[in-house]
Amino acid sequence: MSLIDVKSFAVGQWVTPDSDARQIFNAVTGEGMARAGNSTLDVEAMLEFGRTKGGPALRAMTFHDRARMLKALAIEIGKHKQALYDISFATGATQSDNLIDIDGGIGTMFVFASKGRRELPDAHVYLDGDVEQLSRNGTFLGQHIATSMQGVAVHINAFNFPVWGMLEKLAPTLLAGVPAIVKPATATCYVTELAVKIMLDSGLLPEGALQLVSGGLGDMLDRLTHQDIVSFTGSAHTALKLRSAPHILENSIRFVAEQDSLNASILGPDAEPGTPEFDLFIKEVQREMTTKAGQKCTAIRRIIVPEAQSSAVIEALSARLAKTVIGDPKIEGVRMGALVSQSQKNDVLKTASLIGTEAERVYGDPDNFEVQGADANTGAFVPPMLFHCSNPDQAKIVHENEAFGPVSTIMGYRDLDHAMTLANRGEGSLVASVITRDPEVARSVVLGSGAYHGRLYFNNRDSMKESTGHGSPLPHMVHGGPGRAGGGEEMGGIRGVMHYMQRTAVQGSPDILSAVGRKWVPGATELEAPAHPFTRTFNELQIGETIHTAEREISLEDIETFAHFTGDTFYAHMNAEAAKRNPFFPDRVAHGYLLISFAAGLFVEPNEGPVLANTGLDNLRFMKPVEAGDSIKVRLSVKHKTPRNEEYGEVRWHVTMANQDNDLVAEYELLTMNAYERQT
Ligand code: NDP
């Protein structure tokens, strides 16, 4: 059979493998099926192409432009899902594994697209936090901002998720405005190559935004600058080697690492046999052991259960594992496919034997198991293997060595503190789960174990129907962990975008900060509105456009009317003596909501116009009480504008209310939806 050439995509060209290419084997049959690698790839030219073509083109787009591009890319990959499923079977993956990899990757991209539109501005600068008051009179302020790194992101990915592994890094990178060079693990790079081809053929990406290295990276990492980023997923050994290279250290090159960890799942003390929680625990552990044949960075490696329940857990888990049909993933009914390669199989068997020196194998025999539709020896098959470690305090190997396959070890705990001590012996993991219905158990685990894990997953009968699973990293939530897990973080919503941006503290006058962030800052120049701002369309309104209203006096009758009309007869508005006993009030005072309503009455323009709706009010503060006889007046400024859809966008107005002495009475932000165009 002739080998498929898996190409790289460099400087706008597809490059075929050369004579130094590595051979890739079908995980199920063991036959050679493809080759990848080209030792003459011009890696310097690739970096330059990304930096000079892809970077500027992406940075010219706003966050919203990039988010729209991500959505279109996700739709495009979705159209070609079947082709991706078809070639993925050769990696040993079943159709449910494919759904995690391919549909999971597409879903991740959709989430970043949607978060980009909702949580990032339609602009180029990200504002991180609020304006900091650095001076008494407010003429010198501070604001943290983030801008796109001006280099290239090099993504080095693991073999287990050739599509999701690429997209979970690519989506935040592109959203940040940074071009990527993707280097998938060679063993499964033919799947990534197809996904890259789909994206490039769509024409949605600017030139230079995405390049691909199938095979080795050559000396690319030695050519990076401090504007480049490396994001790595794989073994701790490779991570250490790459991140400690002198060039990476000397140039402070960002290196995000996500590596193997010994994730634990704890059966809560309350989850006894016969409870829904016990059954749920068995189900989750079995699923984590067998999905992707256990080749998941988040898989449960250590099963921590009350000592008294060890036998019951072994029995129930063994019974469930016995139902796992192993074989050619294309065959109907097969639940677990092959490991990715013979070398991974050897590795898993070697580590399982090592674990066997500290723990007894209680389920699964690698020398005797059934495989449907394939040869157990030529294909990279292993059975699920369950170990029981009766002395987890003395043991070392079970806490330190990960068999990257369907291999887990049960260990008993005496009490919750002991369970946490055992979970923490992994010295840093991506995820730990606890199956419990006791909120106090959950709180204790958060306090005692949170610092050791990147994610804590609690599940019980109340959440199990909608829960996403111990092993599923979600685009909304942080994926990564301390210590052995690599110390990195990915995703976590917009947090993940920030890995590809530089945070800068900007200091200056209100006008400077307003211009930098495209957001009006109190104290900045007020633009005189040429007409009432409510008569002006979204497109016409300028940041900083301001009106000052006339004054209105508040009478005792206003307060009484409002109180009886709304039913808010709180004593501070109704009873002078009681109000005076309150340290906040000098006398009966106007309701805060009365003031807000009168403010609207002062600034509103009542006729039909571009303002479509009042959609909310943020950060409301009342600073000074208003008594009968006081007056109020309002200042209304356009603070920020965000397009929302084809017809209208959100205008955020900064509102201050002052009394007759110019003392600040209240401050808030008003949100309206304004039409882009005037309706005629
Ligand atoms: P590796 O660490 O060997 O490879 C991970 C990635 O790094 C691959 O893309 C690999 O490319 C690349 N790589 C390796 N050496 C270099 C180098 N010198 N310069 C640049 N890139 C390099 O992991 P494996 O994929 O071989 O898996 C081995 C073990 O890693 C597993 O058994 C498991 O324990 C762990 N692992 C952890 C994962 C996780 O998500 N936490 C996922 C997968 C594996 P290439 O394939 O071309 O060598």
Using CA positions, which residue lies closest to atom 20 of ligand 1? 217
pLDDT, one tens digit per residue, over 589-621 is 999 999 999 999 999 999 999 999 999 999 999
At residue 19 the predicted structure's pLDDT band, cuts being 50, 70 and 90, is confident
pLDDT at 680 over 80: no
Q: What percent of the chain has pLDDT over 70?
A: 100
Q: State the pairing for strand pair 22-25/32-36.
A: antiparallel
**Beta-carbon count within 10 A of 383 CB:** 24
Return the best residue to mutate from 25, 164, 238, 295 for the ligand 1 pocket (most ligand atoms within 8 A of CB): 238
Q: Give distance in angstroms: CA of 248 to centre of ligand 1.
A: 18
CA distance 410 to 389: 6
Distance 81 CA to ligand 1 centre (A): 25
Q: Residue with the nearest Cα to atom 40 of ligand 1?
A: 297
Return the minimum-mean-pLDDT range out of 118-122, 193-197, 453-457: 118-122
Return the ligand 1 atom nearest residue 215 CA: 47
Whether residue 84 is predicted with pLDDT greater than 90 in this model: the reply is yes
pLDDT at residue number 20: 86
pLDDT tens digits along 397-448: 999 999 999 999 999 999 999 999 999 999 999 999 999 999 999 999 999 9
Spatial strand order in the sheet of 4-6: 4-6, 32-36, 22-25
Mean per-residue pLDDT of the chain:
96
Reported as a pLDDT band with limits 50, 70 and 90, residue 176 is: very high
Catalytic option among 168, 193, 258, 402:
258
Q: Read off the pLDDT of each residue in 520-532 and give the average, rounded to a whole number.
A: 92
Residues 367-382: tens digit of each pLDDT: 999 999 999 989 999 9
Check whether 67 has a pLDDT greater than 70.
yes
Nearest protein CA to atom 38 of ligand 1, as residue: 234
Is residue 258 flagged as an active site residue?
A: yes
The residues that bridge with 593 in the sheet, in sequence order, are: none
Atom of ligand 1 nearest to the CA of 261: 41
* Residue 189 annotated as catalytic: no
Question: What pLDDT, in 10s, does the model give residues 495-521?
Answer: 999 999 999 999 999 999 999 999 999
Active-site annotation holder among 297, 389, 402, 489: 297
Outline where 425-555 has alpha helix (H).
439-449, 494-497, 510-517
**In this model, does residue 456 exceed pLDDT 90?**
yes
Q: Which pLDDT value is given to residue 190? A: 97
Ligand 1 centroid to Cα of residue 158, in Å, is: 5
pTM (whole model) above 0.95: no
Per-residue confidence (pLDDT) for residue 2, from 0 to 100: 84
pLDDT beyond 90 at 260: no
Residue 674 near residue 611 (C-beta atoms within 8 A): yes
Predicted pLDDT at 469? 93
Pairing of strands 432-435, 360-363: unpaired
Phi-psi region of 483 (alpha: psi -120 to 50; beta: other; left: phi over 0): left
Residue keyed to tokens 């300028």: 542
Question: Which letter, b or e, does each residue of 95-117 get, where b requires 16 or more Cβ atoms within 10 Å of its Cβ?
Answer: ebbbebbbbbbbbbbbbbbebbb
Return phi, psi of residue 536, to 5°.
Answer: -105, 140
Q: Residue 344 Cα, ligand 1 centroid: separation in angstroms?
A: 11
From the CA of 90, how far away is ligand 1's center (Å)? 19
List, chain by chain if needed, residues with CB within 6 Å of any ligand 1 atom: 156-160, 183, 185-187, 216-217, 233-235, 238, 242, 258-260, 297, 347, 402, 404
Residue 226 has pLDDT above 70, yes or no: yes
Mean per-residue pLDDT, 9-19: 95
| pLDDT, mean of residues 162-171 | 98
pLDDT tens digits, 541-588: 999 999 999 999 999 999 999 999 999 999 999 999 999 999 999 999
How remote is the CA of residue 230 from the centroid of ligand 1, in Å? Answer: 14
If pLDDT is split at 50, 70 and 90, which confidence band does 492 have?
very high
Q: pLDDT tens across 100-146, in order?
A: 999 999 999 999 999 999 999 999 999 999 999 999 999 999 999 99
In angstroms, the Cα distances linking 255 to 134, 302, 440, 485 are 33, 28, 37, 14
